[in-house]
Amino acid sequence: MNSILIIDDDKELCELVSEYLKEEGFEVKYLNNPELALPEILSSQFSIVILDVMLPKINGFELLRMIRAKSTIPVLMLTAKGQDIDRIVGLEIGADDYMAKPFNSRELVARIRAILRRSKLETSLDIMVNEVVSLGDISLNTGTMTVTQAGKMIENLTTVEFDLLKILLKASGNVVNREELAEQALGRRFSPFDRSIDTHMSNLRKKLAQHSEETERIKAIRGVGYRYVIIQ
């Protein structure tokens, strides 16, 4: 059974969401004190973390940074309605997805299942096929979920960033549209007003150095998608 950890200082919300998620077949635990979250995450086997941005003592962004320094567990962030900057910052730090409060419980479950479905599919496929995708000085290993550049490990890639890079490497030289990237990397349909893919891609590009010729590795094709550039 999939287990979920909710980190939110709103006890009433936690209780309501926990009850709903339990009815949907999840095991749920919640913490109202964010200072207890990191030890709990590292010592337990949670499938996903639901993390609120507005927390006392340690805000959600700070806690997400701490989580990402130690773990690649999927994180779904809860942001204030209309606060686009919160969503962008969360994704840049390493959140897998976000939802604005107040949210629809059914949509929350759909988002959770999409993240878990993608994560489980990757795990099962990686066990079956330990695939290595190499292009130039970049080497991506699906079995170990690692990426090296010129033999040096690229640290702190999130699962979404790893998936985006894998998709682009396999289609190197060709443009991959945002619709396909959203479906494969986020596990949901693309919305024209959703900037998640662009933010994840921006974060990935920052972690990858440019080609030796100072050419962009990942080129944005305006209004279409992205292309991994091949250097001859």
DSSP structure class, residue 22: H
In the predicted model, what is the mean pLDDT of the chain? 87
pLDDT tens digits, one per residue of 84-134: 787 788 888 889 898 988 899 999 998 898 888 777 655 554 444 567 888
> How are beta strands 132-135 and 175-177 bridged, if at all?
unpaired
Comparison of pLDDT for 35 and 189, the residue scoring more: 35
CATH number for the domain harbouring residue 188: 1.10.10.10
pLDDT bucket at 4, cuts 50 / 70 / 90 = very high
Whether the predicted pLDDT of 46 surpasses 80: yes
Measure the CA–CA gap between 103 and 106, rounded to whole angstroms: 9
CATH number for the domain harbouring residue 14: 3.40.50.2300
Measure the CA–CA gap between 208 and 205, rounded to whole angstroms: 5
**Segments in the chain forming alpha helices (H):** 11-23, 37-43, 60-70, 84-93, 105-128, 159-170, 178-181, 196-207
Q: Print the domain residue range for 207.
A: 129-228
Whether the predicted pLDDT of 168 surpasses 90: yes
Same domain, 92 and 142: no
Q: Enter the pTM of the model.
A: 0.65
Same domain, 69 and 144: no
Same domain, 31 and 106: yes
Burial class (CB in 10 A: 0-12, 13-18, 19+), 128: exposed
Q: Which two tokens stand for residue 214?
A: 């100072």
Same domain, 22 and 114: yes
Select from 104, 122, 140 the last residue of a domain: 122
Which residues face 218 on adjacent strands? 228
Select from 106, 122, 138 the last residue of a domain: 122
- Among 103, 128, 227, smallest CA distance to 176 is for 227
Select from 122, 147, 176 the last residue of a domain: 122
Same domain, 52 and 16: yes
Quote the pLDDT of residue 170.
92
Same domain, 140 and 86: no
Helix (H) or strand (E) holding 141, with range, is: strand 138-141
Contacts (Cβ under 8 Å, ≥6 apart) of 155: none
Same domain, 107 and 141: no
Q: Which two tokens stand for residue 86?
A: 């919160």
Same domain, 54 and 16: yes
Domains identified in the chain, total number: 2
